[in-house]
Amino acid sequence: MSLHIHRFVDSVKAHEARGQRDFTMPMRDAKDLHADITKLLITLEQMRTQQSRGAEVVEVQIAGGSFKSA
């Protein structure tokens, strides 16, 4: 995960541990978090499309030939 996502998760945990009901963050942090989430979603979509394009069937045949057990 990215730095900004980790900071967000840690901040939520800290606020929750203190029993706080509300959580606010500076706009700069919100924009950084938004950018990291967007990058993550784009990467996931690219991986998904590459996986569907690259899904080829590989057939393997193994022949024992004249193999004999001793």
Give residue 67's pLDDT: 66
Residue range 1-57, pLDDT digits in tens: 689 999 999 999 999 999 999 999 999 999 999 999 999 999 999 988 887 776 667
Give residue 46's pLDDT: 92
The CA distance from 49 to 10, in Å, is: 32
The CA distance from 38 to 44, in Å, is: 10
Give residue 31's pLDDT: 97
Domain residue spans in the chain? 16-52
Residue 69 has pLDDT above 80, yes or no: no
